[in-house]
Amino acid sequence: MTHAQAARPDPADADADALGVDAETMRALYRFMALTRALDEGAAALQRQGELAVYPQLLGQEAAQVGSAAALARSDWIVPSYRELGAAIVRGIDPVEYLAFYRATWNGGMWDPLAHRFAPVCVPVASQIPHAVGLAMGCKLDEAADCCLVYFGDGATSQGDFHEGCNWAGVFQVPVILFCQNNQWAISMPVHGQTGAPIHRKAEAYGFPGIQVDGNDVVAVYRAVRDAAERARAGRGPTLIEAVTYRLGAHSTADDAGRYRSDSEVERWRALDPLARHRRWLVEHRLAADDLFRAVDEEAAELAQRVRTGVIATTPRPADELFRWVYEDPPATLVRQRNETIGDG
């Protein structure tokens, strides 16, 4: 059931029409990646200035995130881990609301997950996978023509939650896309320390297709997810997609990647920068020129500035919110803790 790598032809001889992605979408993918790059860098800077508690950069993974999120319908569900700023931007979430989690002013982010069909930030590794499979199972039971895409990393495939989610998805032919961003590292653990087999091949054991795609090729990712979503909506079940990419930054602002990986490895991947690559491709195919890139750069700089101002203006939420929304009738222990924290008024 393993499918061949869905790479697109070499930029020099690729026929844009044959890829089945229109020119407007090709340009939109670039714009989303450029906005993501600017906001990701802006968020890392905000953390260094003490405005965010922590931030996990997605630098280098823009194609994997933007290509996948853009290939979905607006009514499809997205279940992120903690590194999915790019997907949130594609889905139209206000980056200030997204970054509230990292400013530690709100658990999970300020946006409405139901309205955006974008679940809260999830840090316990792989725990979002069974949630996503359940969400997709709900779509199936409702006979809704929607699917659900869940993001997770290479390291998450070592967790039981990944295997339980895959098993359930395969048995019940759930409309879910299991989207692994194999960025080669789980903090300081390289991917060969996580798995003895290529990640996409694990799907075979669960009875559904597994695809490996060049995760630094935004069009290849877009096409792979579009196909998987069509399969899911047609009732043909799950797909595991392994997007091979690279985390150019540290694991997070709390990590020093120089302690466990070489500069030469990073430089090798930097040469495969997905943003520069798609830009070159657009130019070579005369789908965009300097005026578009200039306009996008200006938009990205303005957006990053607006987000910066918005994040800095965000104040802590009322303390009693820590105790709300879990229980209709909170247990006495929680009521006591709440009263100790904020008084019983």
Give the residue nearest to ligand TPP (CB): 153
Least CB distance from residue 89 to Mg ion, whole Å?
20
Q: Report the residue number, 30 or 82, with the smaller CB distance to ligand TPP.
A: 82
Contacting residue, 125, 133, 178, 311, with ligand TPP by CB under 6 A: 125
Q: What angle do CA 331, 317, 114 make, to 5 degrees?
A: 75
Measured from the CB of residue 155, what is the shortest distance to Mg ion in angstroms?
A: 5
Counting every residue written for the chain, the total comes to 345
CA distance 312 to 323: 25
**Which window, 99-107, 119-127, 215-223, 320-328, contacts ligand TPP (CB under 6 A)?**
119-127
Q: In the bound complex, what is the minimum distance in angstroms from residue 192's beta carbon to Mg ion? A: 12
Q: Which is nearer to Mg ion, 139 or 199 (CB)?
A: 199
**25: exposed, middle or buried (Cβ count in 10 Å: 0-12, 13-18, 19+):** middle
CA distance 61 to 244: 9
What is the closest distance, in whole angstroms, from the C-beta atom of residue 84 to ligand TPP in the complex? 9
| Near ligand TPP by CB under 6 A: residue from 123, 141, 234, 295 | 123
Q: Is 247 a catalytic residue?
A: yes
Residue 251 annotated in active site = yes
Phi and psi at residue 189, to the nearest 5°:
-100, 115
Q: Does 124 participate in binding ligand TPP (rule CB under 6 A)?
A: yes
- Interacting positions 136-165 with ligand TPP (CB under 6 A): 152-156
Sequence-distant (≥ 6) Cβ neighbours of residue 238 within 8 angstroms: 136, 166, 169, 170, 173, 174, 175, 176, 177, 178, 203, 206, 208, 232
Stretch that binds ligand TPP, among 88-96, 185-193, 198-206, 319-327 (CB under 6 A): 185-193
Q: Which of 116, 247, 277, 279 is catalytic?
A: 247
In Å, how far are 318, 320, 326, 335, 337 from 342, measured between CA atoms? 9, 7, 18, 11, 9
Residue of 8, 103, 231, 251 marked catalytic: 251
Q: What is the binding site for Mg ion (CB under 5 A)?
A: 153-154, 183, 186
Q: Which residues are CB-contacts of 34 (< 8 A; sequence separation ≥ 6)?
A: 275, 296, 297, 300
Tokens describing residue 119: 């679940």
Furthest-apart CA atoms within the chain: distance in Å: 70
Rg (CA), the chain: 20
Q: Known catalytic residue: 192?
A: no
Give the residue with the Cβ less far from ligand TPP, 100 or 125: 125
Residues in region 250-309 near ligand TPP by CB under 6 A: 251
Positive or negative, the CA dihedral 205, 206, 207, 209 is negative
Q: With contacts defined by CB under 6 A, name the span among 24-32, 181-189, 204-212, 282-290 that binds ligand TPP.
A: 181-189
The entry of ligand TPP, Mg ion, none near residue 251 (CB within 5 to 8 angstroms by kind) is ligand TPP
Give the β-pairing of 77-79 and 148-153. Answer: parallel
The yes or no reply on residue 217 touching ligand TPP (CB under 6 A) is no
Applying CB under 6 A, the residues found at the interface with ligand TPP are: 83, 123-125, 152-156, 183, 185-187, 247, 251
Catalytic residues: 247, 251, 260
